Amino acid sequence: MTQRSRAFIAGAYEHPLRTIPDKTVPQIHAEVAIGALADAGLTMADVDAYYSAGDAPGFGALSMIDYLGLDVSHVDDTETGGSSYLVHVRHAAEAIAAGNIDVALITLAGNPRSGGAGPGGSARFSSAPEASFENFFGMGVIGGYAMAAQRHMHEFGTTGADLAEIKVAASTHAQHNPNALLQDVVTVEQVLESRMISDPLHLLDACVITDGGGALVVVSEAVANDLERHTIPVLGTGEAIKGTNAGRVDLTHTAAVVSGPAAFAEAGVTPADIDYASIYDSFTITVLVTLEDLGFCEKGKGGEFVRDGALQAPFGKLPFNTDGGGLCNNHPANRGGMTKVIEAVRQLRGEAHPAVQVPDCKLALAHGTGGSMATRVGSSTLILGREV
Amino acid sequence: MSDTTTTAASQLPTGEPNISHDNRRYWEATAEGRIELPRCTACDLVIWYPRSICPDCQSMDLSWETMSGNGTVYSYTITRAGVGRKWREHLPLVVAYVQLDEGPIVLTNIVDTDPSIIEIGMAVTAVFHDTGHPISDEDGAPNSAILRFTSVS
Ligand SMILES: [Zn+2]
């Protein structure tokens, strides 16, 4: 068996602001690109591959490469919604393994909190083959996830209090993040007493809406060896798509049932080995279903799993989203995948906030869930390690 | 078969469907108060949403069949906020997935039904809401309609 060339995350940067009314989306892309490259100890001139998703305006990567003044030999505009940036890490690792690139730059930016337009454009979405069969029912984003929660409760007896535990853990972490949009610790009761938006999901079951962005730099081993910064090896990756399956809709699973095992197998580890997990948290139900799908517990046992502070750092059985996650900290451009990878990198570098740093964190998982659990979902899983 | 007439009070917002070669038969049937869906002649799958290819076996040899219009609730949510402007006067709004007796699970609304009695597994039947948009440019072409459901009882 041939040993693949390994890929390393060398730079990670999260925009510190949550409201950015005075800057353009390309400008925020530029700020996070500069931030991540500076974190790695590299410059724009070192970049030979660029990755962006639907949040990049205009012609996507084509527009952004020109705007930033990059000179690349590899480009990837893969769009799987909020999980895109984990898919980009995987694709960058593959291109590095093939020997095609050395320094990949991945950026995300948007300003929905200040009223900026969402990605994709209305023409693109209204021409989708499914559009006329899904767009005339008033199903907002939360409505789809609410139906997933309702079905999970019906099949497995999951409760609103179970879902609330996830928000409570996120808020417990967010109190230590001075950049988090929401920094107040909340209780299960407060979640259950918050306004019902779409039964059974309350206001506090939903992620925040923020301006901002983030960027990652993924490099080859040769480049990593020359850098002073603590670089993070990419040990295993997976990506998968799950759709409406010709009408055999299944609201209690995501494509994580495929992307997770693929990533674990490549890394040669199991869920029990994971010290820290960044789990996509557009809504509390997203986390619960994903934990089951990834194999941290059996299908249907997610409610039981998250009780009693299981997700709370540093000593819960699976500390998660120690930056406060999308539920409390940041969900830039309505896309939470980038920040999931960034916090996993912080944990593995030992640079999370001391109050939530997992002691001796050696193995982390980051997972993204793009699109909608109610229709078409793009799942991506990364297993990240610590350089020895 | 379902009643194609609805009162103004129960009519929810609609929109203009993208009628295409993929789905023209579906929309023509809605103008007559029927659900017609493609069935794959090779593997027998009833396909939702309507399209030109069977996603199971990739055959493009499909026939169209009329469904019964009856089904059961697979999941639902009572939406109270977080929707676009045209929906706000219709809150609370019941969004649901309904499983047709023929198999496919379709995204829809439950209308003319007390939201508090809705539960997963409840029997429902089709109703059609006029979109106000003709199914073609021909003179006198009837309007397409949006498929919704109401409780059977
Ligand atoms: Zn077929």
What are the chain B neighbours of A148 within 8 Å (beta carbons)?
75
- Which pLDDT does position A118 carry in this prediction? 66
| Reported confidence tier of residue A281, pLDDT bands at 50, 70, 90 | very high
Q: CA-nearest residue of chain A to B148?
A: A137
8 Å CB contact of B95 and A139: yes
Q: Taking 80 as the threshold, does the pLDDT of residue B6 lie above it?
A: no
The end-to-end CA distance of chain B, in Å, is 15
- Which pLDDT does position A117 carry in this prediction? 73
8 Å CB contact of B109 and A137: yes
Q: Taking 60 as the threshold, does the pLDDT of residue B2 lie above it?
A: no
- B12 CB-near residues (< 8 Å, 6+ apart): A138, B87, B90, B93, B109, B111, B129, B146, B148
Asked if residue B1 belongs to a domain, the reply is no
Asked if residue B3 belongs to a domain, the reply is no
What are the chain A neighbours of B38 within 8 Å (beta carbons)?
none
Q: Taking 80 as the threshold, does the pLDDT of residue A121 lie above it?
A: no
Name which of A195, A199, A247 is nearest B105 (Cβ-Cβ).
Answer: A247
Q: Taking 70 as the threshold, does the pLDDT of residue A1 lie above it?
A: no
What are the chain A neighbours of B15 within 8 Å (beta carbons)?
132, 135-136
What number of residues does chain A have? Answer: 388
Asked if residue B42 belongs to a domain, the reply is yes
Q: What is the pLDDT of residues A341-354, one digit of tens each?
A: 999 999 999 999 99
- B33 CB-near residues (< 8 Å, 6+ apart): B1, B2, B3, B4, B128, B145
**CATH classification of A7-130+211-233, choosing from 3.40.50.10800, 3.30.465.10, 3.30.1130.10, 3.40.47.10?**
3.40.47.10
- Which pLDDT does position B153 carry in this prediction? 75
Predicted complex ipTM: 0.95
Give B101's DSSP letter: T
Please give the single-letter amino acid code of residue A203: L
A373 Cα to chain B: minimum distance (Å): 13
Q: Rounded to 5, what percent of chain B is helix, strand, coil?
A: 10, 35, 50
Q: What is the pLDDT of residues B14-32, one digit of tens each?
A: 999 999 999 999 999 999 9
Q: Taking 80 as the threshold, does the pLDDT of residue A385 lie above it?
A: yes
For residues A27-42, average pLDDT: 98
Residue with the bigger pLDDT between A119 and B58: it is B58
- Which pLDDT does position A27 carry in this prediction? 97
8 Å CB contact of A132 and B75: no
Q: CA-nearest residue of chain A to B46?
A: A246
B127 Cα to chain A: minimum distance (Å): 14
Which two structure tokens, joined as six digits, stand for A28? 């925020």
Name which of B19, B79, B120 is nearest A138 (Cβ-Cβ).
Answer: B79
- Which pLDDT does position A176 carry in this prediction? 98
For residues B79-92, average pLDDT: 91
For residues A234-262, average pLDDT: 98
- Which pLDDT does position A4 carry in this prediction? 62
User: Looking at chain B from residue 111 to 130, which residues have their Cβ under 8 Å from any Cβ of chain A?
Assistant: 120
Residues of chain A with CATH 3.40.47.10: 7-130+211-233, 141-209+235-384
* Whether the predicted model's global pTM rises above the 0.80 cut: yes
Asked if residue B66 belongs to a domain, the reply is yes
**CATH classification of A141-209+235-384, choosing from 3.20.20.60, 3.30.200.20, 3.40.47.10, 2.40.50.140?**
3.40.47.10
Distances (CA, A) of A113 to A20, A82, A167, A230, A242: 8, 16, 21, 33, 29
Q: Taking 60 as the threshold, does the pLDDT of residue B8 lie above it?
A: no
Number of domains in chain B: 1
CA A65 to chain centre: 23
- Domain containing B23 equals 8-151
- Which pLDDT does position A259 carry in this prediction? 98
- Which pLDDT does position A115 carry in this prediction? 87
What are the chain A neighbours of B87 within 8 Å (beta carbons)?
138
Cβ pairs bridging A and B (under 8 Å): 124
Q: What is the pLDDT of residues B105-149, one digit of tens each?
A: 999 999 999 999 999 999 999 999 999 999 999 999 999 999 999
Which two structure tokens, joined as six digits, stand for A32? 């996070």
| Reported confidence tier of residue B10, pLDDT bands at 50, 70, 90 | low
Which two structure tokens, joined as six digits, stand for A373? 């659990």
For residues A109-115, average pLDDT: 94
Q: What is the pLDDT of residues A133-172, one digit of tens each?
A: 999 999 999 999 999 999 999 999 999 999 999 999 999 9
**HSE, side-chain direction, 13 A CA sphere, residue B38:** 26
User: Looking at chain B from residue 16 to 45, which residues have their Cβ under 8 Å from any Cβ of chain A?
Assistant: 17-19, 22-23, 45
d(CA A265, CA B110): 44
